[in-house]
Amino acid sequence: MRTVVERDGGRCVWCGRPLGGLVPATTEHVVPRVKGGPSWLENEVAACRRCNGERGHRTVVEWLEECERRGWEPSREVLVRVLEQLQGAIAERGGQRRARPYLDGQLRRLRKRAA
């Protein structure tokens, strides 16, 4: 878990709060298991316990938009980077057919919103 938290800059990707102390760090699957997301490090992001628990079944983009509505500071950059790395890992290792369309769709929407 520490690897993921450090990679993601020590902050919750959804609300931007620094992790540790009163803001317990967790990791969660960017592409949910129910959508075929693999149990790989590349499919994990650092999130605080609150955000991890509250995301529920929302997609990456849906939850990102909800976080912004709440005035939080989700890190689109980290999310794009993690999704791109996951895409690369899948291309290298193969498989993950169920996760691919979800991943591609979310990445496309994230990039479009960034432009």
Q: Does residue 110 interact with Zn ion by CB under 5 A?
A: no
- How many residues touch Zn ion under the rule CB under 5 A: the total is 5
Instruction: Name the residue nearer to Zn ion (CB basis): 48 or 79.
Output: 48
Can you tell me which of 48, 60, 64, 99 binds Zn ion, judged by CB under 5 A? 48
Length of the chain: 115
H-helix or E-strand containing 29? strand 25-29
Q: Which of residues 9-28 bind Zn ion (CB under 5 A)?
A: 12, 14-15
In sequence order, what are the residues at sequence separation of 6 or more whose Cβ sits closer than 8 angstroms to the Cβ of residue 29?
A: 37, 39, 43, 44
Q: How many Å apart are CA 105 and CA 25, to the nearest integer?
A: 28
Interaction site with Zn ion (CB under 5 A): 12, 14-15, 48, 51
